[in-house]
């Protein structure tokens, strides 16, 4: 993120897009863009970018881009889809840039080499899911021109499904429909299974390493809201049990949706959102609140430790998405309790910024209002903690949020940990989140220690003060034994995290010993 000039916030951008100004320079016309044409628009004062086949004139957006002009220029005049997916695939660019749409990329006819059917050629170069994607785009855009080709591609489509055929199955009784997914993977647990069933739409996603398998069907008949999910962890079998609304015999499960029965990289799967109800909002500090959201009845998912979700709201007619890291309702002192596993509620600790676009809108939600919540994301792996002897957590402000579940996990489930230390940087005493709970936890569990460091303390503050620095870190970040295995997790404002990582490296910690929480 770079500091933007005054008048260049997201809200200012939304206002500009609503002003009726011609942002493409094409007076509302949509055109077909050739690669040649696209490549000519590669300057700051004339910049077009292609994302997923659509071309946007991002020239007017330059000064509003939170990542800076230089980042945007990396894709100038080219297909920026991969770059976009790497950096922020969760941003709804279709909504943000809709007034900048120039048109579609023109499709180049592909010449097939003699004697080799085009469809086979593509089979060699594309993965199964890409073939499906490819097929669908072709069907949509070019069906009129490629009758014979689409027939061959249909056969290929079946071939792809045949490969995945034995992964899922379904059966019925008078009152139930059971969808069974055989992952053939060990240790499939509730954190890896995400099920949503609303309005006759069934979506069941299974995470297998960095891949995702999806069952997505428009059900043949109505089912009730209650959905049960059974997981046989050892054999990797997942059952989704639906209750029929009417006791009739189903001839088929339903119509497959676009991503149905595909096994693709997680990052290639679009984010899925469901509407959750705001059920409570409690004050944590003068500017930070704990929001409790209730999942719909047909939804089953757990946010794994160290992962975040995206919230989506329509603000002034534009979809705005921001990431938040679920916490627990409180820091459990009695480790028999597992409050985060009720499977129904998500707790978010959110700082409300006085000029914040998203958090102001969030704070204005009333009890019973709905907000869209995405599937979990993030690259933190619990195994990083499970092999450590010392866990050191560096948090700045709400950068504390990923540390909450992490602390609970470490102190309840990781027996090899000897020390767990939180070094918590805040501006003032009033900003410290869950200070009492942290102090109580430190009192109760001798492995845990907390250190508060204030950057703008009052005169009465007798504790440590300062900003993150090499000297503060060398004082507090230490191995309990000379050769002990350490994991250092860091989260806070981006420059805090970046500087922290650098200081840690200067102090001799390796990249493998550091995990930074970022989007
Ligand atoms: P914005 O409109 O983005 O503004 C934020 C602040 O910056 C305001 O004070 C605003 O006045 C100021 N500002 C805006 N634009 C500029 C500018 N150009 N120059 C200078 N100042 C500016 N936050 C939490 O509270 N809890 C969480 O659990 C949490 N989890 C996160 C997880 C991840 C992975 C990431 C990346 C972030 C997380 N955040 C979390 C931060 C969150 O996503 C939002 O960034 C935050 O809520 C601010 O959103 P906003 O739209 O209200 O503020
Ligand atoms: P804040 O109150 O502004 O700052 C917290 C502490 O960090 C203060 O001591 C502050 O010192 C210090 N700090 C701020 N900027 C710094 C910098 N450039 N260099 C060194 N120290 C700095 O923090 P906040 O408003 O709660 O913001 C929390 C941040 O964490 C947000 O940016 C949010 O996006 C991020 N976050 C990320 C994740 C994630 O990636 N998973 C999760 C949650 C939150 P000063 O008094 O000197 O400013």
Q: For residue range 34-88, what is the model confidence (pLDDT) as tens digits?
A: 999 999 999 999 999 999 899 999 999 999 998 889 989 999 999 998 888 887 7
With b meaning 16 or more CB within 10 Å and e meaning fewer, what string describes 367-390? eeeebbbbbbbbebebebbeebbb
Q: Indicate whether residue 4 lines ligand 1 (CB < 6 A).
A: yes
Q: Indicate whether residue 95 lines ligand 2 (CB < 6 A).
A: no
With b meaning 16 or more CB within 10 Å and e meaning fewer, what string describes 205-217? bbbeeebbbbbbb
pLDDT at 52: 87
Q: What is the pLDDT of residues 462-490, one digit of tens each?
A: 999 999 999 999 999 999 998 999 999 99
Q: Indicate whether residue 9 lines ligand 1 (CB < 6 A).
A: yes
CATH number for domain 10-105, candidates 3.30.420.40, 3.30.1330.10, 3.10.120.10, 3.30.70.270: 3.10.120.10
CA 497 – ligand 2 centroid, Å: 8
| Architecture of the CATH domain 164-265 | Sandwich (2.60)
The beta strands (E) that lie in 316-447 are given as: 318-324, 326-327, 345-351, 370-374, 390-396, 419-426
Which helix (H) or strand (E) segment holds residue 238: the answer is strand 237-244
pLDDT at 335: 58
Tell me the fold of 382-516. Answer: Rossmann fold (3.40.50)
Q: Indicate whether residue 322 lines ligand 1 (CB < 6 A).
A: yes
Q: Indicate whether residue 335 lines ligand 1 (CB < 6 A).
A: no
Dihedral angle sign, alpha carbons of residues 281, 430, 468, 6 = positive
**Is 0.85 surpassed by the pTM of this model?**
no
- Lowest-confidence region among 181-185, 189-193, 371-375, 470-474: 181-185
Q: Ligand 1 atom closest to Cα of 327?
A: 28
What is the token pair recorded at 446? 């001798």
d(CA 63, CA 23): 14
d(CA 172, CA 2): 56
Residue nearest to atom 44 of ligand 2 (CA): 399
How confident is the prediction for the chain on average, in pLDDT?
87
Q: Ligand 2 atom closest to Cα of 454?
A: 9
Is the confidence at residue 147, as pLDDT, over 50? no
Contact partners, residue 8, CB within 8 Å, separation at least 6: 63, 64
Residue nearest to atom 31 of ligand 1 (CA): 324
In the sheet with 370-374, reading across from the earlier edge strand, the strands are: 318-324, 309-315, 370-374, 273-283, 288-294, 345-351, 326-327
Q: Which ligand is nearest to the CA of 356?
A: 1
What is the token pair recorded at 468? 């993150």
CA 397 – ligand 2 centroid, Å: 5
CA 12 – ligand 2 centroid, Å: 24
What is the dotted CATH code of the domain comprising 273-377?
A: 2.40.30.10
**Beta-carbon count within 10 A of 196 CB:** 21
Same fold, 273-377 and 382-516: no
Domain boundaries, the chain: 10-105, 164-265, 273-377, 382-516
Q: Which of 283, 359, 516 has most ligand 1 atoms within 8 Å of its beta carbon, as the pocket-test mutant?
A: 359
d(CA 102, CA 336): 58
d(CA 262, CA 133): 10
Q: What is the pLDDT of residues 193-232, one digit of tens each?
A: 999 999 999 999 999 888 999 999 999 999 999 999 999 9
Q: Indicate whether residue 17 lines ligand 1 (CB < 6 A).
A: no
Pairing of strands 254-256, 299-300: unpaired
HEC profile for 45-82?
CEEEEEECCEEEECHHHHHHCCCCHHHHHCCCCCECHH
Residue nearest to atom 30 of ligand 1 (CA): 324
Residue nearest to atom 47 of ligand 2 (CA): 455
């Amino acid at each position: 993120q770079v500091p933007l000039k005054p008048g260049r916030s997201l809200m200012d951008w939304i206002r500009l897009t609503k002003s009726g100004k011609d942002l493409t320079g094409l007076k509302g016309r949509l055109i077909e863009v050739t690669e040649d044409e696209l490549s000519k628009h590669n300057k700051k004062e004339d910049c077009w970018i292609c994302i997923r086949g659509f071309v946007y004139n991002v020239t007017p957006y330059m000064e509003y881009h939170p990542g800076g002009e230089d980042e945007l220029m990396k894709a100038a005049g080219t297909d920026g889809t991969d770059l976009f997916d790497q950096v922020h695939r969760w941003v709804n660019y279709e909504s943000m840039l809709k007034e900048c749409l120039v048109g579609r990329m023109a499709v180049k006819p592909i010449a097939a080499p003699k004697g080799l059917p085009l469809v086979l050629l593509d089979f060699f170069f594309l993965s199964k899911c890409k073939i499906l994607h490819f097929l669908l785009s072709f069907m949509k855009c070019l069906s009129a021109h490629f009758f014979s080709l689409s027939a061959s591609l249909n056969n290929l489509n079946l071939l792809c499904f045949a490969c995945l055929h034995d992964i899922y199955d379904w059966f019925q009784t008078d009152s139930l429909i059971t969808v069974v997914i055989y992952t053939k993977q060990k240790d499939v647990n509730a954190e890896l299974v995400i099920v949503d069933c609303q309005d006759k739409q069934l979506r069941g996603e299974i995470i297998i390493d960095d891949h995702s398998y999806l069952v997505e069907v428009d059900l043949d008949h109505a089912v009730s809201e209650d959905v049960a999910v059974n997981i046989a962890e050892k054999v990797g079998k997942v059952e989704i049990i639906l209750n029929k609304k009417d006791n009739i015999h189903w001839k088929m499960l339903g119509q497959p949706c676009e991503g149905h029965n595909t096994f693709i990289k997680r990052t290639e799967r679009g984010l899925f959102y469901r509407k959750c109800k705001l059920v409570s909002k409690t004050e944590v500090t003068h500017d930070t609140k704990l929001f409790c959201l209730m999942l719909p009845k047909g939804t089953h998912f757990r946010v794994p430790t160290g992962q975040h979700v995206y919230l989506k709201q329509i603000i002034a007619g534009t979809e705005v998405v921001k990431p938040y890291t679920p916490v627990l309702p409180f820091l459990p002192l009695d480790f028999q309790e597992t409050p985060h596993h009720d499977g129904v509620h998500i707790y978010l600790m959110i700082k409300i910024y006085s000029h914040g676009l998203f958090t102001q809108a969030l704070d204005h939600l009333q009890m019973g209002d709905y907000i869209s919540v995405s599937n979990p994301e993030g690259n933190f792996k619990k195994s990083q903690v499970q092999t450590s002897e010392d866990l050191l957590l560096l948090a700045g402000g709400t950068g504390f949020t990923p540390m909450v579940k992490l602390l609970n996990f470490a102190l309840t489930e990781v027996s090899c940990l000897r020390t767990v230390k939180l070094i918590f940087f805040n501006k003032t005493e009033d900003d410290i989140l869950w200070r009492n709970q942290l102090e109580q936890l430190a009192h109760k569990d001798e492995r845990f220690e907390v250190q508060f460091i204030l950057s703008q303390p009052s005169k009465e503050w007798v504790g440590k003060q300062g900003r993150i620095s090499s000297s503060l870190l060398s004082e507090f970040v230490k191995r309990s034994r000379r050769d002990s295995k350490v994991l250092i997790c860091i989260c806070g404002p981006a420059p805090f995290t970046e500087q922290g990582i650098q200081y840690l490296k200067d102090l001799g910690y390796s990249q493998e010993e550091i995990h930074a929480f970022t989007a």
